[in-house]
């Protein structure tokens, strides 16, 4: 009886305590039952080589595990926005209906909801204005220069906008906290433009409410999207790949496909270098879309800081119209597809011209993440058959891309049958743990040139390793994944593959958040209503 009365009296406290206890019990079950199982698979020999490698997490990672893992799972898919667009209107409607029935009539709740509404409206304004400005710049750049301008220059402004917006939001929150704490400072939510707002509502009350709801919806959506971008742009501590049998002097772990902010990547070239070194990679090809700016900066950074790391300059030639991507290595020139042709710009070539040109300059060229769909004209591969690409002179195909290898099994066999290189590239854009690498043995370990590396790759005696961090135990229908429910699938499989310290990190962070939230709620409940009304000029 006492418990029922207590719950009725402290509804909010009881509600969040119930959620926390359920979550805490779940984490305890995970702590007792799950274990981290990382699979290393050599797609070239089609064998599990997990006994040869270990994925080791640094100590700092355990302190940041919940934040880092959410960042890695969100990635740059952004399809969760569909889930947000579906769920927000429903939850908002439920809230408004409950509010109308008197469930949120607390005067303190009304006062503090003013702060939330103001933050959402502020978020709407500071995100929309610079994004519209950026869209106009990209539009004019596209009109006067061409697609090349958009392809090369859209990422850095986005990074600047996201950073700037979060600085402004941080300042806004700091000012709110100062006003809450300072004895004389007050809010002006209720007095500010009150007469003007009343006139607008008198003329068109429904339109005014609709406009406000749209601002809240867009403001929250852009805040979440900006948070996603900020997370994937932050270099969290990554795992390190450790060979259980120490590498010989002539053995190297390498990656031949990665991106930076100079195309559609979210880390700078300098950050990407340190990202590789921390994970045990010593050679990498920087292959931004249609340019080599990131590769040059990375190479200069390594030389300037005398790092034990080798940067190979590469480019991912990207034909969006025909949906085909090729990496070329060994020539320090920028070449773009015909869709990006612009006056006084880089050389523009079609695919066969590109392959011929790269080979004539002594370079190497491979096909990235290609498909094995039936070609309408016969054979396999769209828009060009595998045989066409072979005959034009490509050196090989990726049989692993971004940790995925199953859909490239037929391409692997085609490479073996035609003496083509079986490539593997992480194609990483964000800060996630490296999920793909090549282990190669060089006949001359001091010669880490493109020529020497590719001559060894041609033998197909290297290892192409795909890393599966969270082996799938739980699966969701593909259509639901496309609506953003992939996050649910990834979360479940993630929690089923945690070690003890990762789970303890989740328990610690969850407890800190719960205690902090309850302290705030308790503080609000104890605050004198008359003082709050004075603070809000109510």
Q: What pLDDT sits at residue 3?
A: 44
Q: Where are the beta strands (DSSP E) in 83-126?
A: none
Rounded Cα–Cα distance for residues 528 and 519 (Å): 16
Measured CA to CA, the distance from residue 63 to residue 322 in angstroms comes to: 45
Least confident range from 170-184, 189-203, 271-285, 426-440: namely: 189-203
Whether 429 and 462 share a structural domain: yes
> Quick one: average pLDDT of 281-297?
97
Q: Is the peptide bond before 383 cis (omega within 30 degrees of 0)?
A: yes
Is the peptide bond preceding residue 52 cis, with omega within 30 degrees of 0?
no
Whether 215 and 310 share a structural domain: no
Would residue 38 count as lying in a domain? no
8 A C-beta contact, residue 192 and residue 121: no
Residue 52 token pair: 């040869």
Picking from 206, 238, 270, the residue at the C-terminal end of a domain is 238
3-state secondary structure of 135: helix
Whether residue 233 is found in the same domain as residue 247: no
Q: Indicate whether 477 belongs to any domain.
A: no
| 72 within a domain of the structure (yes/no) | yes
In a domain, 421, yes or no: yes
pLDDT score for 153? 87
Helix (H/G/I), strand (E/B), else coil: 324: strand
Contact 329, 365 (CB under 8 A): yes
Position 181 in a domain: yes
Confidence of residue 6 (pLDDT cuts 50, 70, 90): very low
486 is a domain residue: no
What pLDDT score was predicted for residue 401?
Answer: 98
**Same domain as 303, residue 443:** yes
User: Do residues 124 and 144 share a domain?
Assistant: yes
Tell me what pLDDT residue 148 has: 85
Q: Are residues 223 and 260 in the same domain?
A: no
Instruction: Name, of 203-207, 208-212, 338-342, 501-505, the range with top average pLDDT.
Output: 501-505
| Per-residue confidence band for 8, with pLDDT thresholds at 50, 70 and 90 | low
**Length of the chain as a residue count:** 538
SS3 of residue 49 by DSSP? coil
Last residue of a domain, one of 221, 238, 255: 238
Give the domain-ending residue among 414, 447, 468.
468
Where in the sequence is the domain holding 512, given as residue range(s)?
1-33+499-538
Q: Assess whether 303 and 444 both reside in one domain.
A: yes
Of 72-76, 106-110, 226-230, 473-477, the one with minimum mean pLDDT is 473-477
State whether 231 and 255 are in the same domain: no
Is 194 a domain residue?
yes
Residue 230 lies in a domain: yes
Give the chain's domain count. Answer: 3
Do 74 and 200 lie in one domain? The reply is: yes
The mean-pLDDT minimum among 70-84, 193-207, 520-534 falls in 193-207
Render pLDDT for 239-260 as a digit per residue (tens, 0 to 9).
999 999 999 999 999 999 999 9
pTM of the model: 0.90
**Residues 377-390: b if buried by 16+ CB within 10 A, e if exposed:** eeebbbbbbbebbb
In the block, tokens 């994970």 appear at 279
């Amino acid at each position: 009886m006492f418990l029922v009365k207590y719950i009725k009296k402290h509804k909010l406290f009881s509600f969040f305590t119930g959620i926390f206890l359920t979550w805490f019990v779940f984490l305890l079950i995970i702590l007792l039952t799950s274990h981290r199982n990382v699979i290393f698979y050599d797609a070239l020999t089609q064998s599990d080589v997990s006994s040869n490698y270990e994925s080791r997490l640094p100590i700092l990672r355990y302190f940041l595990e919940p934040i880092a893992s959410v960042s890695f799972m969100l990635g740059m898919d952004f399809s969760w926005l569909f889930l947000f667009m579906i769920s927000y209107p429903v939850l908002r409607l439920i809230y408004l209906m409950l509010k109308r029935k008197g469930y949120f009539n607390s005067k303190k709740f009304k006062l503090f909801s003013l702060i939330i509404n103001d933050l959402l409206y502020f978020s709407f304004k500071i995100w929309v204005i610079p994004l519209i400005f950026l869209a106009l710049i990209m539009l004019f750049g596209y009109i006067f220069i061409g697609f090349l301008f958009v392809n090369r220059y859209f990422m850095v402004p986005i990074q600047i906008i996201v950073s700037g917006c979060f600085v402004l939001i941080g300042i806004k929150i700091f000012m709110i906290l100062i006003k809450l704490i300072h004895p004389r400072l007050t809010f002006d939510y209720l007095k500010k433009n009150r007469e003007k707002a009343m006139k607008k509502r008198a003329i068109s009350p429904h339109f005014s409410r609709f406009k406000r709801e749209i601002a809240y919806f867009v403001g929250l959506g852009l805040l979440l999207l900006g948070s996603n971008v900020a997370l994937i742009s932050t270099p969290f501590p990554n795992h390190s790949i450790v060979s259980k049998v120490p590498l010989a002097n002539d053995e190297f772990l390498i990656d031949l496909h990665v991106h930076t902010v100079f195309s559609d990547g979210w880390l700078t070239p300098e950050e990407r270098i340190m990202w590789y070194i921390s994970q045990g990679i010593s050679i990498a090809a920087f292959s931004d879309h249609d340019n080599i700016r990131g590769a040059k900066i990375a190479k200069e950074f390594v030389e300037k800081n005398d790092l034990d790391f080798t940067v190979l300059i590469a480019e991912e030639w990207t034909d969006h119209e025909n949906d085909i991507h090729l990496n070329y290595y060994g020539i320090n020139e920028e070449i773009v597809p015909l869709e990006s042709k612009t006056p006084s710009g880089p050389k523009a070539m079609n695919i066969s011209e590109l392959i011929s040109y790269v080979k004539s300059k002594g370079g190497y060229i491979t096909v990235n993440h290609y498909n094995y769909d039936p070609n309408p004209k016969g054979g396999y591969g769209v828009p060009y058959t595998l045989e066409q690409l072979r005959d034009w002179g490509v050196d090989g195909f990726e049989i692993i891309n971004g940790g995925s290898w199953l859909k490239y099994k037929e391409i692997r066999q085609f490479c073996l049958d035609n003496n083509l290189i079986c490539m593997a590239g992480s194609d990483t854009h964000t800060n996630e743990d490296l999920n793909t690498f090549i282990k190669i043995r060089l006949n001359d370990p001091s010669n880490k040139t493109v020529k020497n590396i590719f001559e060894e790759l041609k033998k197909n005696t290297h290892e192409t390793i795909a890393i599966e961090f969270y082996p799938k135990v739980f699966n969701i229908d593909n259509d639901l994944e496309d609506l953003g429910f992939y996050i649910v699938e990834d979360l479940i499989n993630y929690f089923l593959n945690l070690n003890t310290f990762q789970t303890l990190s989740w328990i610690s962070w969850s407890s800190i958040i719960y205690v902090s939230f309850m302290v705030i709620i308790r503080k609000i409940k104890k605050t004198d209503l008359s003082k709050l009304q004075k603070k809000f000029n109510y």
